[in-house]
Amino acid sequence: MSMEKILVADDEEALRILICDTLEKENRIIDEARNGEEACQLILTEDYDLLILDVMMPERTGYELCQEAKNMDNSPLVLILTAKAQSADREKALAAGADHVMIKPFSTMALEEVVEKLLESRN
C-alpha cells in the first residue's frame, strides 16, 4: 500500500494539531501549514492525495487554494473546513472544486470517516 500524503492548512494551531494527531497513521504523511501562503508553497512543490483547508486563513483563503489545486495536473482531493454554516458558503466551496465540506466544530470521528471515504474514492 502506498503512502497517503495529506496537507492540513489551518491558522488555528490547536485545531491543526488535533486534526494532524487524528489523521496520523502508519501509512500517512501529514504536512502542516499555518496560513494560505505556506499552504500554497507546499501545494506547488509536493504531491498530495488530500488537502484539508480552512476557509478563513491569512494571505490566501481555502477557496483560493482549492481552485488553484484543482487546476493542477493530478489534482488532489480537497476537504474544506468552515465555521460558516450557511448553504451559500457550502456552495462556494463546492464551486471552487471542494470534494467535501465540513462545518466546524466537528468530531474527530466524523473527520476520520470523511477522510477515509475521500481517500478510498481516489483508489
Extents of the domains making up the chain: 4-122
- In this prediction, residue 21 carries a pLDDT of 95
| CATH 3.20.20.450 fits domain 4-122 | no
Q: Which residues neighbour 65 within 8 Å (Cβ) at sequence distance 6 or greater? A: 9, 36, 39, 40, 43, 51, 53
- In this prediction, residue 49 carries a pLDDT of 96
> Which residues of the chain are under the pLDDT cut of 70?
1
- In this prediction, residue 89 carries a pLDDT of 86
Cell of 19: 486534526
Q: What is d(CA 114, CA 107) in angstroms, rounded to the nearest whole number?
A: 11
93-119 tens-digit pLDDT = 999 999 999 999 999 999 999 999 999
Instruction: Report the predicted TM-score, pTM, of the whole model to 2 decimal places.
Output: 0.95
- In this prediction, residue 86 carries a pLDDT of 84
Distance, C-alpha 103 to centroid of its chain: 13
